[in-house]
Amino acid sequence: MRLTKELLYGKIIRGFEGTDPEPVAEMLNAVPYGGIIFFRKNILNYSHLGEFIAQLKSRVARPLLLCIDQEMGVVNRIREGLPPLPGGRKFAALPREERKESAATLAERLAEAGINVNFAPVCDIPANPEDFIYRRTLGDTPEEVCQALEDWLEGFRGSGILSVLKHFPGHGNTKTDSHLGLPVKETSWQEWLSRDALPFLHGMELGGSGLMLAHILYPNIDCEPLPLSPVFLRYLRHTMGFRGPLFTDDLEMEGFLSLPDWKERFHRLLVGTVDYLILGKNLPGKVDEVKIVEELLATSSLS
């Protein structure tokens, strides 16, 4: 595979500062990033999001992935202008028809604003309320999570939005928040298949379009943490035959940056089978993706 700027930068979904589309358009016209991710700091309200995207599209000619984590509930990037839709546990507590209607309303509003990738729903199964992910989850059992997941995906069907299931292979029964460190999950392959895997497998069958890979280590299954675990990546691509895009979780999280060889891992992700790398750019100066890409291109030209 010949490495090019377009190939390497095209795998990066980049965060940005501010609420003005003009400097973002300039950045995207200068560097061929694959897309951008909106955080709460970038969105004044729902109307502003739509105006931002419209102006961006008028200034940048190529197609872009325009991404957001709009789970509703705890993770809610749009502060004003959306109906008060429930997320996480509150979404799961609704009757099924109301869940479908709620998800369909969210899908419609995101599509109208111009979003084409939503990093949701959460498919993790918590073991107890102490799990850091607990409030964002859709139930306590595989059956509960799978049923709520069905209703979420049904609401998004036909919207044109890529629904990205997260956080594969599952954050349940871990107390360490991957924003702060690398969670370690002590479970066997068979235990994983019989519990944590089920919502992801069900979501893939239902048409969940993409998967977000967690920052997590399953030491009884693979000594390599996600998102680079060859065991889990082979299972997804070869055993399951999953052909949808794979996204990393934000590479500025300590679950990734706390690893001593994270720069070498970033290199491997750029040239590997994971399709997109999320780089939130919430830690200015921490990850210099331009330098990393240039190093890879220089190495490639010498080989």
Domain count of the fold of the chain: 1
pLDDT given for residue 277 in this prediction: 98
Using CA atoms, how far apart are residues 240 and 93, in angstroms rounded to an integer? 31
Q: What is the pLDDT of residue 49?
A: 98
What pLDDT, on the 0 to 100 scale, is given for residue 8? 96
What domain range includes position 206? 5-302
User: Among the options 171, 179, 222, 288, which is catalytic?
Assistant: 179
**How many degrees, rounded to 5, is the angle at CA 129 between CA 248 and CA 148?**
65
| pLDDT average, residue stretch 205-210 | 84
Q: What is the pLDDT of residues 257-291, one digit of tens each?
A: 999 999 999 999 999 999 999 999 887 778 999 99
Beta strands across the sheet bearing 246-248: 246-248, 210-213, 162-168, 117-118, 65-68, 35-38, 12-14, 277-279
Note the pLDDT tens digit of each residue in 70-123. Answer: 999 889 999 899 988 899 999 999 999 999 999 999 999 999 999 999 999 999
What pTM was estimated for this model as a whole? 0.96
**Cα(291)–Cα(198) distance, rounded to whole angstroms?**
40
Q: Could you say which of 249, 267, 275, 288 is catalytic?
A: 249
With 60 as the cut, is the pLDDT of residue 303 above it? no
What pLDDT, on the 0 to 100 scale, is given for residue 1? Answer: 67
Q: Structure tokens of 25?
A: 């358009």
CATH number of the structural domain spanning residue 281: 3.20.20.300
Known catalytic residue: 238?
no
179 an active-site residue?
A: yes
Largest CA distance in the chain: 60
Position 27 scores a pLDDT of 97
